[in-house]
Homo-oligomer: A and B are copies of this chain.
Amino acid sequence: MTKTLIFGHKSPDTDTICSALVYADLKNALGVDAKPARLGEVNAETQFALDHFGAEAPEYVERVDDEIDNVILVDHNEFQQSVDNISDVRITEVIDHHKVSNFETKEPLYFRAEPVGCTATILNKIFKENEVIVSKENAGLMLSAIISDSLLLKSPTCTAEDREAAHELAEIAGVDLETYGLEMLKAGADLSDQTALDLVTMDAKEFTMGDANVQIAQVNAVDTNQVYASQDSIEKEIEKLINDKNLDLFLFVVTDILENDSDVLAMGQAKDNVEKAFDVKLDDRNRALLKGVVSRKKQIVTNLSEQF
């Protein structure tokens, strides 16, 4: 039988992990031999969601094995965010909500990207289109993904479709949206156990902007000052990454989930572009407060890309 592997991006977030789990389950219900996978560590927020709904994290894979015939990408399409040997495998589907870039196939495929706030919102539609019942566990996982990507429906990336799906799924999952949502976000924002290296790599994505290599890492926090208490160690880790990966810019984004602002740290030779993109001045520690900015995709990547 044809074996299909389903996974999201590197430095997995809650949408990536939950969408891989849920879509594999849906594919199984449709008679496809599909298995979820992950390309990195499960973060504290995602672990909280998995525990709450009694789900297990998918298996970690370093590369796609020979016994796999097809892969399905969820929550990403850019090859640099995917598994290392992505160019050598047959991609049969993509379900995503990001811009399309650095992606190509040799053959036609099912590629479904929609400008919504979360992959799970699209998956919820696919359940309906295929008339498959959403289990309590799957509803909880999809709900967690939407809460995570939309910062409890507050991000500018959140659409009416995401909101509607979230309310519907909260009902099936049997939780109160606000209460569960804040609990989950706080679990992710508890950074006390994280090393400086964890902080700059736990949710980091690479982008090619113009000719420049840009990495943007984001963490959610209840108290941004607490994160920057270890700014010296954070800077050392970022310097290493800039050298190792030949980055032109590393932007470290600490998002305050209660205030819905971001306190960012910019390093690398192209850091001036951050000042131009957001019309701010970096202070003497290379930091700036971006008022009302919470979305990497819609507010940071879009503005920053234009400067390169």
A12 to chain B, nearest CB (A): 19
Is the CB of A60 closer than 8 A to any CB of chain B? no
- Interface 1/0s, chain A 109-146, versus B by CB < 8 A? 11111110000000000000000000000000000000
Range of interface residues on chain A?
Answer: 20 to 34
The contact of A112 among B99, B103, B106, B112, by CB within 8 Å, is: B112
> Is A284 engaged at the interface, CB distance under 8 Å to the other chain?
no
Nearest-CB residue, chain B, relative to A92: B115
With A99-B108, A108-B115 known, 20 other A-B pairs at CB within 8 A are A99-B106, A99-B109, A100-B100, A100-B104, A100-B105, A100-B111, A101-B104, A101-B105, A102-B104, A103-B103, A103-B104, A108-B113, A108-B298, A109-B113, A110-B114, A111-B111, A111-B112, A111-B113, A112-B112, A112-B113
22 contacts between A and B (CB under 8 A): A99-B105, A99-B106, A99-B107, A99-B109, A100-B103, A100-B104, A100-B105, A100-B109, A100-B111, A103-B104, A106-B302, A106-B306, A107-B115, A108-B113, A108-B114, A108-B297, A109-B113, A110-B113, A110-B114, A111-B111, A111-B112, A111-B113
Please report A residues at the B interface, Cβ cutoff 8 Å.
97-115, 297-298, 302, 305-306
A101 / chain B contacts, CB cutoff of 8 Å: 104-105
Give min CB distance, A96 to chain B, whole Å: 8
Closest partner residue, chain B, to A108 (CB atom): B115
The complex places the Cα of A101 from the Cα of B113 at a distance, in Å, of 15
Q: Which 8 A-B pairs have the closest CB atoms?
A: A111-B113, A101-B104, A108-B115, A99-B105, A100-B105, A99-B108, A106-B305, A99-B107
A245 to B108 Cα, complex, angstroms: 26
**Complex Cα distance A59/B170, Å?**
49
- Main SS of chain A's interface residues? loop
The answer for the CA separation of A103 and B305 in the assembled complex, in Å, is 16
Q: In the complex, what distance in Å separates the CA atom of A103 from the CA atom of B100?
A: 7
Option from B98, B112, B305 in Cβ contact (under 8 Å) with A108: B98
- Which residue from chain B places its CB closest to the CB of A114 in the assembled complex? B110
Closest to A98 in B: B108
Question: What separation, in Å, do the CA atoms of A76 and B108 have in the docked complex?
Answer: 11
A110 — which chain B residues lie within 8 A by C-beta? 113-115
Query: In the assembly, what is the distance between CA of A103 and CA of B77, in Å?
Result: 12
Q: Which residue of B lies closest to A110 (CB)?
A: B114
Which one of B102, B108, B115 contacts A109 once the chains associate, using CB atoms below 8 Å? B115
